[in-house]
Amino acid sequence: MDSMKLFWCAALAAGALSAQTFSGAAALDEVINQAIVNGALPAAPREDGCKNCEYLPVCGPYEEERVKEKSQAELRGLKEMRGWR
Ligand code: SF4
């Protein structure tokens, strides 16, 4: 993920990002990096998230139900990100 940090820093330096957007991007980068390090990137669609997704034939129709049975601790970072809007 170091290349992503370099990308965000370059975008900030070029004036393409506000400091607030840079801060959000860095936080997003950290959550994703931590998930990769922990080997925990479960499918976790939000309600109705699968409805129009092209991968529905791959995942099957019940992923929105299965996510309720998954470790909620592993989904904490994802849930936090969804609240950042
Ligand atoms: S169908 Fe699969 S990839 Fe698409 S949103 Fe649902 S869980 Fe995610």
Answer yes or no: is 34 within a domain: yes
Answer yes or no: is 28 within a domain: yes
Number of domains composing the chain: 1
Note the pLDDT of residue 25: 84
| pLDDT tens figures, 59-77 | 999 999 999 999 888 898 8
**Nearest atom of ligand 1 to the alpha carbon of 67:** 7
Residue span of the structural domain in which 25 resides? 1-41
Which pairs from 45-50 meet CB under 8 Å and 24+ separation? 46/82
Answer yes or no: is 3 within a domain: yes
Task: Tell whether the model's pLDDT for residue 1 goes beyond 60.
Answer: no
**Nearest atom of ligand 1 to the alpha carbon of 63:** 7
Answer yes or no: is 58 within a domain: no
Answer yes or no: is 85 within a domain: no
> What would you measure as the largest C-alpha separation in the chain, in angstroms?
44
Task: Tell whether the model's pLDDT for residue 11 goes beyond 90.
Answer: no
What whole-number percentage of the chain has pLDDT above 70?
A: 98
Dist. CA 54 → ligand 1 center (Å): 8
Averaged pLDDT, 36-62: 93
Residue 12 vs residue 48, higher pLDDT? 48
Query: Which element (helix H / strand E) includes 10?
Result: helix 2-13
Answer yes or no: is 31 within a domain: yes
What φ, ψ does residue 61 adopt, rounded to 5°? Answer: -80, -5
